[in-house]
């Protein structure tokens, strides 16, 4: 049994939602994480709030976040709402982490079944090429391009393949890196990815995802999938026949 507190911390990123100053959305996500990841109760949970100080609900929302039990809150205030896709607080949250691995989750996701946290972290400790494990909102058997949902327009994932190495936790190789809930190797991000993720571009939402996926795809085109994947170490959680494990609460629109 590994010491999860020493190996894993949890980061929940948020901004001032339309439902603010209510914290119901983010509390549902925190409860889902606590209920779904075995042994995670001992791990530090930090909320990073990308706060538009011009929002009339800003102060009350941050105040209510601080009332959530057993979490710490880092307020990242600014004026106006930049097209950063929560870029600054995502990057800062990982750079400031003191554990080898970080579970990153935005404020409006819900987990559909239990994750054996010890098994997954042990897998990442034992296999230094496993750097990024994403919890998939689609069944693993098909890449997103072959398994679209109504309204989908962008298909970053075009290839998935079951890892044939004898890992403790089955995982799927993927040609897509995206920031819906995932566990990341902290030093890999700081060493190799932080400069990529930090690039800015006017009026482009989701800059972290935009930057990382473009860099990964360039490496795939240059090196071929297998060599690029070995360098990046990006996986979907679970085996070939596992069903999706998360669903989106969509706090920006429905709450």
- Report the 10 Å Cβ neighbour count for 126: 11
- Is 16 within the bounds of a domain? yes
- Is 251 within the bounds of a domain? no
Higher pLDDT among residues 224 and 81, named by residue: 224
Query: How many domains does the chain divide into?
Result: 1
Average pLDDT of the segment spanning 142-157: 81
Question: What's the distance, Cα to Cα, between the start and end of the chain in Å?
Answer: 40
Domain containing residue 12: 4-246
pLDDT tens for 162-177 read: 999 999 999 999 999 9
Instruction: Give this prediction's pTM.
Output: 0.93
- Is 160 within the bounds of a domain? yes
* pLDDT band, very low/low/confident/very high, at 145 (cuts 50, 70, 90): confident
Q: Are 235 and 133 in contact (CB under 8 A)?
A: yes
- Is 252 within the bounds of a domain? no
Instruction: Give yes or no for residue 152 having a pLDDT over 90.
Output: no
Write the CATH number for 28: 3.90.550
Please give the Cα distance from 254 to 119 (Å, whole number). 35
Please give the Cα distance from 255 to 173 (Å, whole number). 34
* pLDDT band, very low/low/confident/very high, at 77 (cuts 50, 70, 90): confident
Q: Are strands 182-185 and 132-134 parallel, antiparallel or unpaired?
A: antiparallel
- Is 234 within the bounds of a domain? yes
Peptide bond into 21 cis (omega under 30): yes
Instruction: Give yes or no for residue 201 having a pLDDT over 80.
Output: no
- Is 152 within the bounds of a domain? yes
235, β-bridge pairs: 133, 173
Instruction: Give yes or no for residue 96 having a pLDDT over 70.
Output: yes
Please give the Cα distance from 5 to 8 (Å, whole number). 6
- Is 233 within the bounds of a domain? yes
Please give the Cα distance from 131 to 107 (Å, whole number). 23
Please give the Cα distance from 144 to 138 (Å, whole number). 7
Share the mean pLDDT of the chain.
Answer: 92
- Is 255 within the bounds of a domain? no
134, β-bridge pairs: 182, 236
Give one DSSP letter per residue of 183-223, joined into a string.
EEEHHHIIIIIHHHHT---TT-S-HHHHHHHHHHHHHHHHH
pLDDT tens for 35-57 read: 999 999 999 999 999 888 889 99
């Amino acid at each position: 049994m590994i010491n999860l507190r020493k190996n894993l911390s949890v980061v929940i990123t948020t901004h001032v939602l339309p439902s603010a100053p209510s914290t119901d959305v983010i509390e549902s996500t925190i409860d889902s994480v606590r209920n779904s990841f075995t042994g995670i109760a001992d791990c530090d949970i930090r909320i990073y709030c990308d706060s538009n100080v011009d929002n009339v609900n800003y102060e009350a929302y941050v105040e209510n976040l601080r009332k959530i039990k057993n979490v710490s809150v880092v307020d990242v205030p600014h004026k106006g709402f930049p097209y950063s896709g929560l870029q600054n607080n995502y990057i800062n949250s990982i750079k400031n982490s003191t554990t080898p691995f970080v579970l990153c989750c935005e404020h409006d996701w819900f987990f559909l079944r239990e994750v054996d946290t010890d098994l997954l972290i042990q897998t990442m400790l034992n296999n230094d090429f496993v750097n990024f494990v994403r919890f998939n909102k689609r069944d693993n058997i098909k890449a997103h391009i072959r398994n679209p949902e109504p309204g989908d327009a962008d298909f970053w994932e075009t290839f998935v393949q079951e890892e044939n190495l004898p890992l403790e936790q089955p995982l799927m190789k993927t040609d897509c890196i995206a920031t819906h809930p995932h566990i990341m190797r902290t030093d890999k991000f700081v060493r190799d990815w932080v400069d990529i993720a930090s690039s800015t571009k006017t009026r482009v939402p989701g800059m972290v995802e935009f930057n990382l996926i473009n860099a990964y795809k360039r490496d795939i085109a240059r090196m071929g999938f297998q060599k690029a994947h070995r360098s990046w170490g990006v996986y979907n959680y679970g085996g070939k026949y596992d069903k999706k494990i998360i669903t989106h609460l969509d706090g920006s629109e429905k709450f």
